[in-house]
Structure 1
Amino acid sequence: MKRRRYAICGLSGRALGQFAKPILTTFAGGSELVGLLDPDLARFEVFRSRFPEQADIPAYGEDEFVRMVEETRPDCIIAAGRDDTHARYILSALQMDLDVISEKPMATTGEDSRQILEAESRSKGTVTVTFNYRYAPIHTKIKEMVSEGRLGRITSVDLNWYLDTYHGSSYFKRWNRERALSGGLSIHKSTHHFDLASWWIGQKPAEVFAYGALNYYGADSEWNPEREDGRHCGTCDVSSQCAYYSRWNARSKKLAVQDDHLGSLGGQQGAFPYTGYRPDRCVFDSDIEIEDTYAAVVRYDGGAMMSYSVNFSLPYEGYRLAINGTKGRLETVEYHIPSRIPFPTPVQTIDYFPLFGSKETIHVVQREGRHGGGDPLLLEDLFMGEDSSRPFRILSGAEDGAYAVATGEGVWRSAQENRPVRLSEMLGSSPQQELAVNRKGGV
């Protein structure tokens, strides 16, 4: 079997751990990494230090995409850099008839998502979006129950997502706090949640109404020890008065960053391996322009409605979910990363309530791996082909990515403009007809 050739655009921490490492190790028999592209030369050095035996893989600057493709001849491009770079490389790849694997979110605007759908319809290439939450065993079990009709026709969903003060604050230390780079957290983070809900119930979002606010971070936060811009956690002289810093850092171990996205790439005393980038900016800076709290209602094309909220500064991390249908209801509560929760947490189960009958508690086999055991299964589908034994598809495509992004943008627009927002404002009134979308991996 021919080995599939990959080039990575954007050497983020996730690009190294989630894509480069598996290609070079677990899936090396059928995969080959042939090219790297990034605007920061220092990131190539980080790659070579982590994979010294692969130091000869060609590296290219951010404007050398065509040259990279011509010289390295990849079969598939992996877009894994900063969110605002995804659309650029996806569109370039599709124009050259290449397949694409994109980190979520696929883009940062509904307009870019629409352009990607149009480009895919003209291209021989296809787009896969890595919505790894779908692969967590508890989530596939929920999909199975809905698909089997145990809930009947789905009428409503209640989804409340919580991020703790460790994870939630990390977005306000890094580039995510700039809307132009991330689309805001209703896109960067909530696309995960919107995709899950749409996939679970088999319906596409049509309209959104939402409220949003900045309650915990920014200069006006009641937790701000002193109003001053430009501080960094690693060198801050009031860090001992900062609850967000003190909660996760001992005085005897003053790290410049302790971030669950960068992990070992965080340096000490402000020494970071990347050029012009520090992931420990102050969460109380006045230039923070994204929200940390949302509440929204989403209407779907199949008649279901969802009540959704997300909060980026809570004492623990996880979610509460309920799905209601004409034949019953399911409920589940997840406590994510128990080691960061200051109280005992139960193993996650699903409670099923038939409309007329007795409650049933369902236990799901746990799996090792990040994102609830989902990442290893996602990687197998990406690099070995989809598991054909499943009764439903999990791997997601460009249409899934577009609807998730458009829902996130709709949430932000609605919160800003105080009105319901239809997804057709961003994707067109009928993506299936107007854009002639060739569904190669849709919901």
Structure 2
Amino acid sequence: MRYAFVGLGHRAELYVGALLGEWADAGEIVALCDVNRTRMAYYAERIGRDVPCFAPEEFGELLEIADAVVVTTVDAAHAGYVCAALDAGRDVIVEKPLATTAEGCAAIAAAAERSDGRLVVTFNYRYAPRNSVVRRLLMEGAVGAVTSVHFEWTLDTVHGADYFRRWHRDKANSGGLLVHKSTHHFDLVNWWLRDAAETVFAQSALRFYGPGNTPGPRPSRAHGAPRLGADPFLLDISADPRLKRLYLDAEHEDGYIRDQDVFGDGVTIEDNMAVLVRYAGGAMLTYSLNAHSPFEGYRVAFNGTGGRLELEVVERAWTPPHAAVDPTAAAGELAAGAWERLTLHRHWREPEDVPIGAGGGGHGGGDALLLNDLFRGPGDDPLARQAGHLDGVRSVLVGVAADSSARDGVPVRLTAGGTRLAG
């Protein structure tokens, strides 16, 4: 397979590294596309040979030499590139979220239906062993019919803060965390329940980051700031050779500042979110996301007619002040001091600790399994972990509906199957 990449920021490394390493036998990288020549040059150097580089307006020419396209651009640009590649009959691998709007989702769904190309959305968390065991237990009826789900996700002040210093801070780019980040979580619930959302109600607020939420004057960015190295919210991108090459050295081309102050102007996304969802099958979901927690992880509980299943995960226990922690490190990898526990409570029986199994690497061990599915095919997977365009649409629309509900203060209904907004 001849793979082309569009969007050459940090996230592209997962797939570039795979095709240069363990999955090199599955295909070759034949083209790069980005708004920034410096970033393309970095990846061309990483690949180690001459690779044709294209500007976004030359994307049609890129499609002529590729069999498949990997889309890792800013989220708001996904729909345009995905549709163009599908309409050219190319296979597409796209980072979550599939799109940031209902209109973008509808356009991609239509393109996927008329195309011979295959579209895969990269929901790595489906592949994490702990989440896969949950799927298996629910499929086996371990707690009977699920009646409700409680899901709490916490981002710490390393990973969580990073969304407020980079392009994600502008909702026009990312759709906000209810779309960009929560699409992972809504997809997990959809997949676990094998169901689609029907009604969504939400509240959200910016309570920790953004202007006015910290006393005193702040620098507009970390680079060159007087307190760089002393203030844990200032990211020193010059200290990381890769971040320096991809962003600091590339600023002169497009003006993108990777180390903006998390308490500065321009933050239009929220850091506290609460969502209530009713599913077509009758189950109810209560969900919350907090982006300024002392630790990173999640808790999810399934109440059913036969009992309760609880999963608790601490991916990063805590971060000392001024610790040198890379906010771009693979999410979901269990750090030192972290842990996970899965407990099955059946009615009138002793609780059971359910073994999870090893899961080293990014996204709880999911990244390697996902890459194998992408580049070698999913094979016979009874858990159906590979996600197509409808999975991507259904997860995004829960987030889009939640953002709309939080803005307007009213519930939002989805049509049957959760595939489009009803209004």
Cα deviation, residue 326, structure 1: 0.8
1:386 corresponding residue in structure 2: 378
Alpha-carbon deviation of 1:347?
Answer: 3.0
Aligned to 1:438: none
Q: State the alpha-carbon separation in 1 of the partners of residues 310 and 224 from structure 2.
A: 45
Secondary structure class of the residue paired with 2:249: coil
Per-residue CA deviation, residues 327-361 of structure 1 (Å, 9 max, x unaligned), is 11111211113473799846312110012322101
Name the residue aligned to 1:282.
261
Contact 2:44–2:51 (8 Å) recurs in 1: no
Structure 1 residue runs of 4+, over 4 Å off?
238-243, 341-346
Please point out which of 399, 403, 406 is paired with 1:408. Answer: 399
Distance verdict in 2 for CA 1:147–1:264, change over 3 Å:
farther
**What corresponds to 2:4 in structure 1?**
7
Q: Which 5+ residue runs of structure 2 have no aligned equivalent?
A: 322-334
Aligned to 1:58: 52
Relative distance call for 1:5 and 1:48 in structure 2 (3 A) is: closer
Is the CA contact (8 Å cut-off) linking 1:225 and 1:242 kept in structure 2?
no
1:256 shift after superposition: 3.9
Q: CA deviation at 1:241?
A: 7.7
Question: What SS does the corresponding residue of 1:303 show, helix, strand or coil?
Answer: coil
Opposite residue 51 of structure 2, the aligned amino acid is: I
Change over 3 Å in CA distance of 1:203–1:264 after alignment to 2:
farther
SS of corresponding position for 2:298: strand
Note the C-alpha offset of 1:13: 1.3
Partner in structure 2 of residue 231 of structure 1: 220
Shift of 1:417: 0.3
**What aligned pairs does 1:416-435 form with structure 2 within 5 A after superposition?**
416-424=407-415, 427-428=419-420
In the alignment, the residues of structure 2 paired with residue 141 and residue 41 of structure 1 have an alpha-carbon distance, to the nearest angstrom, of: 43
1:386-436 superposed Cα distances (whole Å, 9 cap, x missing partner) = 031x32200101001011111111111111000001233994479xxxxxx
- Among candidates 243, 251, 258, match of residue 266 of structure 1: 243
The one-letter amino acid of 1:308's match is Y
8 A contact 2:199–2:412 mirrored in 1: yes
CA distance in structure 2 between the partners assigned to 1:93 and 1:119 by the alignment: 9
Q: Percent identity?
A: 37
Following the alignment from structure 1 to structure 2, what is the Cα–Cα distance between the partners of residues 169 and 340? 13
2:314 matched to which residue of 1?
335
Counterpart for residue 24 of structure 1: 20
Quote how far apart the aligned CAs of 1:36 are: 1.1
Distance 1:44-1:344 versus aligned 2 partners, 3 A rule: closer
Choose the corresponding residue for 1:218, options 201, 210, 213.
210
1:235 CA drift (Å): 2.0
Q: Distance in 2 between matches of 1:382 and 1:365?
A: 22
Provide closer, same or farther for how the CA distance between residues 405 and 341 of structure 1 changes in structure 2, counting only shifts above 3 A: farther
Structure 2 residue 359 is the aligned partner of structure 1 residue 367 = yes
Query: Normalization by structure 2: what TM-score?
Result: 0.90
Q: Which moved more, 1:186-195 or 1:23-32?
A: 23-32
- Distance, in Å, in 2 between the alignment partners of 1:194 and 1:266 is 30
How many residue pairs get aligned? The number is 405
CA RMSD of aligned residues (A): 2.3
Of 356-365 and 83-92, more deviation after overlay is shown by 356-365
Report the AA paired with residue 295 of structure 1. A
Q: Which moved more, 1:151-160 or 1:330-339?
A: 330-339
Measured in 2, the distance between the counterparts of 1:371 and 1:379 equals 12
- In structure 2, the partner of 1:150 is 142
Distance in structure 2 (CA, Å) of the matches to 1:279 and 1:60:
23
Distance 1:48 1:98 in 2: 22
- Per the alignment, residue 141 of structure 1 pairs with 133
Deviations along 1:254-308, one digit per CA (max 9) or x if unpaired, are: x3467xxxx642239x943353222110111232111111001011111111000
